[in-house]
Chain A
């Protein structure tokens, strides 16, 4: 079994953890993530769901 202590995986620094729940930054990320999702849906409309 793989134990976390044996992992080579990167761990977040305290600074990273702080940004993950820092309200002003997360409000910005909320906007950015929503825009990214909308972009993905636009791509979908461009590539798929089209008349053959």
Chain B
């Protein structure tokens, strides 16, 4: 009998736990530890943030589903890993947790494990930029609660515009080192569509703020797509959409601070500017959640298990090298900790070897370029693969057999650009592979037959379909495992 503990119940953690339960016999335990009592289908937070969907449509409680599927659930946050056991509690590996619910708030305990998957996701590091975030002067759609309060503020702005007032909207990323530029892009085009739908577009000035070197980088070094008989960079695709929608933008930008009513920005070339706003939705940079690690004697071994940014080191090549020397082989394949073979990371929690987009810094050495995205589809695929490998290890294999390198994996991104079943549109994009491979695909780094983008109503229908399909899957209803990641 083995016990597998999954830290986190986001896309990666929940997928891992669901497949572990499906594949492991009932004599093995699957334990999920998450500080939140609910699952959040984060891609649809965009619609919550513009008032098109209620928060309740994108979240559901985890406990009843886990109870039905015989997955143990602890509403707690992981505090520290003890992979060699504790000085007082014996040599069995443990994770130290602090409850955040279930009537045990604040209580700490040790949970033993045979295998552990770290799928904690990121810490939303609003503190990196003074004034950034819901506690400060801007909004976010990173959680369902954030999106709900963003919606309230957005609808207040709409009401002001209906009374004839002009409103300025600043949307984008709130730090030079952010990821999730795709989500910010999706939010700004949805916001613009909603303003048009509500008949107030003429009273709005919209500015998109991004750390991308060019629009359409999306943290994946941009992509080339077949479009209208040409192979065009995603910069053209994105700039065209912004030009069509009348959205101003600032690229290569680091947000230095967010004051009430104004963001202060510095661009890569040192230019400083102020962008005034009445409403701002700026996504935060991510770090690891700050898990500590200790050996059997209680000595701190956090730096052995985690990179300085708090994400967990896995089987990647972390040697520092210039952009020109990055290769697909740098990226992890099985997401196993090199320090402890029964430790794995999935989703955002693993430390990437380096970004995908070229790193650029300003004169002061501040990085102003996107961090690598690893949310959504890649997170789920990695979570499932890690689960499959753990099942095999429990059954006696001596090493992980299945791989899920982002250099051998594609991603589909359907970015809603207006939610209406007849007049809405979405930008549907796929790429293969996520990490460009210039040896296999010398000209563009990706397979052009599987890397495409187009804008249309069909994309919106797909987005709706994905919303319902993935919530159905996450609720582990009959046939859930047949739905692809």
Residues on A facing B (Cβ under 8 Å): 1-4, 7, 9-12, 19-21, 23, 26-27, 29-30, 33-34, 36-37, 39-41, 43-44, 47-52
Specify which chain B residues have a CB less than 8 angstroms from the CB of A20 in the assembled complex: 425, 455-457
Smallest distance from the beta carbon of A44 to chain B beta carbons, Å?
Answer: 5
Given contacts A1-B273, A20-B456, A39-B450, whether A48 and B409 have CB atoms under 8 Å apart is: yes
Specify which chain A residues have a CB less than 8 angstroms from the CB of B458 in the assembled complex: 26-27, 29-30, 33
Specify which chain B residues have a CB less than 8 angstroms from the CB of A34 in the assembled complex: 462
Complex Cα spacing A12 to B244, Å: 7
Chain B, residues 369-404, CB within 8 Å of chain A (1/0): the string is: 000000000000100010000000000000001111
Specify which chain A residues have a CB less than 8 angstroms from the CB of B279 in the assembled complex: none
Given contacts A26-B457, A48-B403, whether A1 and B250 have CB atoms under 8 Å apart is: yes
Specify which chain B residues have a CB less than 8 angstroms from the CB of A1 in the assembled complex: 207, 248-250, 273, 275
Given contacts A26-B456, A30-B458, A49-B385, whether A12 and B240 have CB atoms under 8 Å apart is: yes
Q: How many residues of B contact A (CB 8 A)?
A: 47
Specify which chain A residues have a CB less than 8 angstroms from the CB of B422 in the assembled complex: 21, 23
Q: Is the CB of B100 closer than 8 A to any CB of chain A?
A: no
Smallest distance from the beta carbon of A46 to chain B beta carbons, Å?
Answer: 9
Specify which chain A residues have a CB less than 8 angstroms from the CB of B113 in the assembled complex: none
* Cβ-defined contact, A7 with B456, below 8 A: no
Complex Cα spacing A20 to B241, Å: 13
Contacting chain A: which of B152-160, B319-327, B426-434?
B426-434
Set B243, B447, B452, B457: member contacting A9, Cβ < 8 A: B243
Given contacts A9-B239, A21-B457, A33-B462, whether A52 and B403 have CB atoms under 8 Å apart is: yes
Set B275, B410, B412, B423: member contacting A21, Cβ < 8 A: B423
Specify which chain A residues have a CB less than 8 angstroms from the CB of B381 in the assembled complex: 44, 49
Specify which chain A residues have a CB less than 8 angstroms from the CB of B248 in the assembled complex: 1-4
Complex Cα spacing A39 to B431, Å: 11
* Cβ-defined contact, B449 with A39, below 8 A: yes
Given contacts A9-B243, A49-B385, whether A30 and B462 have CB atoms under 8 Å apart is: yes
* Cβ-defined contact, A43 with B450, below 8 A: yes
Q: Is the CB of B459 closer than 8 A to any CB of chain A?
A: yes
